[in-house]
Amino acid sequence: MMMIAKVVIFLLSIAKFAASTPCNRTCGGERVSYPFGFSDGCEFRLNCSSEGKMEFKRFGIRNITSESLLLNISTNCSRPIEEIHQLFGKTYALASQNALLLRNCSSPLNGCVVQWSLLENRFGRRAECGGLGRRENMSCYALEGQGGLLSFKDVRDTGCKVLYSSMVIDSAESTVGDGSDVTLALQTVQVSWWLNGGCGGCDGNAACVKVPPDGYRCHCNAGFSGDGFAAGHGCHIGLRRYRGRKIAVIGGVIGCAAIIVVLLALLCCFFRRRSACSKSQTRARRLLSEAAGNATVPLYPYKEIEKATNGFCEKQRIGTGAYGTVYAGRLHNNEYVAIKKIKHRDTDSIEQVMNEIKLISSVSHPNLVRLLGCCIENG
């Protein structure tokens, strides 16, 4: 009884150790995603050769997708058809996209037709198998329709003896016209894979694809990336989409910040100029008031002065002095006036004009002009 207990405990310990064995998902510097791996603790076991090449059942792996394995299968004139049996298992089988090239068949096959010129152009003399075979001895076997799985029994029942090679035919609906795009991969065999169990193993952002009778696969929903399995990396927002959103947000923030900075700069310049203009006008009013003997001097807007002289038209020029030019003009009340425009805004010119204002304001005579007002705006 004690020995039986020890054996049970020993077996339980082994099972526990096997269940806790971590999965090695790296081979030759390349890493595969869940459920694949290269050790006993992996859900779907692959092989890693001594040269660091990924293999499955001694066939080199060309690509791994969310639905299948694409394997290299070179031409071989003497490979027994039974060797393909290793590509059928509890969680994998040949996909319907395969077109198997078989030789030494007891009767012609009608599953698919391959032009001999295609094989001859691609394989050369190898298609003849050293000249020992005949063209009529090459047959093609494929499953009718898409989406199903081949069975080893059907392949064996073809009556063919040699597995020469395989092709993968992938047809997808074209977005242009009414035709379809068809790709043909030579010396390739496609193996569909799945996991046994229910859909509970899928991530919350993944869809479950059932594979009869008891299998399933997980695919991340649109906008998400990952392996789709809850026990793996699951599904997360696609990196490109995230980067695109991040760049858009950063760009929007930078753009808004730039607009705000420009607006603040414009407002700052506006208020500075307004402040400077206000100070200048206040100073000008003070000087005018002092020049006119502290009397109030009316101020005219520059636009009215410009309109009165037709834009300081040369035809309305009366004369030109050292400090300014005099134009004839008519105000909005039809009153004719003489308007003197200062040439330079330096100290001497302003001082000379102030002296003239003092003189005109201090003397009243019928033959002298009368001061109606001034314009101190920038024109």
Of the CA atoms within 13 Å of residue 138, those in its CB half-sphere come to 26
What the block records as the tokens of 215 is 């299998």
Ranked by mean pLDDT, which of 111-120, 124-133, 363-372 comes out on top?
111-120
Is 208 inside a domain boundary?
Answer: no
Q: What is the mean pLDDT of the chain?
A: 78
Do 65 and 188 have their domain in common?
Answer: yes
**For residue 321, what is the domain's CATH number?**
3.30.200.20
Is 290 inside a domain boundary?
Answer: no
Do 260 and 319 have their domain in common?
Answer: no
Structural contact between residues 140 and 102, judged by C-beta atoms closer than 8 angstroms: yes
Q: Give the end of a domain, one of 167, 193, 219.
A: 193
Do 39 and 155 have their domain in common?
Answer: no
- Report the SS3 class of residue 225: strand
Do 359 and 315 have their domain in common?
Answer: yes
CA dihedral 41, 45, 46, 50 (to 10 degrees): 40
Do 318 and 244 have their domain in common?
Answer: no
pLDDT tens digits for range 269-285? 877 776 665 666 666 66
Is 220 inside a domain boundary?
Answer: no
pLDDT of residue 203: 94
Report the predicted TM-score, pTM, of the whole model to 2 decimal places.
0.57
Do 267 and 308 have their domain in common?
Answer: no
Do 165 and 89 have their domain in common?
Answer: yes
Do 65 and 45 have their domain in common?
Answer: no
Is 117 inside a domain boundary?
Answer: yes
Do 174 and 51 have their domain in common?
Answer: no
Per-residue pLDDT at 314 exceeds 80: yes
Is 4 inside a domain boundary?
Answer: no
Rounded to 5 degrees, what angle do the CA atoms 170, 172, 173 make?
160
Residue 6 is assigned to a ligand binding site: no
C-alpha to C-alpha distance for 148 and 326, rounded to whole angstroms: 101
Do 146 and 65 have their domain in common?
Answer: yes
* Type of residue at 38: F
Per-residue pLDDT at 172 exceeds 80: no
Is 122 inside a domain boundary?
Answer: yes
Is 221 inside a domain boundary?
Answer: no
Is 347 inside a domain boundary?
Answer: yes
pLDDT of residue 46: 96
Q: Give the end of a domain, one of 193, 219, 251.
A: 193
pLDDT of residue 6: 46
**Rounded average pLDDT over 153-174:** 82
What is the band of 125 on the pLDDT scale with cuts at 50, 70, 90?
low
Domain count, the chain: 4
- Give the DSSP per-residue string, 25-40: -EETTEE--TTEESST
What the block records as the tokens of 211 is 């594979």
Do 32 and 96 have their domain in common?
Answer: no
C-alpha to C-alpha distance for 181 and 66, rounded to whole angstroms: 21
**Rounded average pLDDT over 297-313:** 84
Do 150 and 180 have their domain in common?
Answer: yes
**Rounded average pLDDT over 49-74:** 94
Q: Give the end of a domain, one of 134, 160, 193.
A: 193
Structural domain of residue 242, as residue ranges?
A: 238-273
pLDDT of residue 20: 61
- Exposed, middle or buried by CB within 10 Å (0-12, 13-18, 19+), for 200? exposed
- Give the DSSP per-residue string, 41-60: TSSEE-EE-TTS-EEETTEE
Contacts (Cβ under 8 Å, ≥6 apart) of 95 = 68, 149, 150, 168, 190, 191, 192
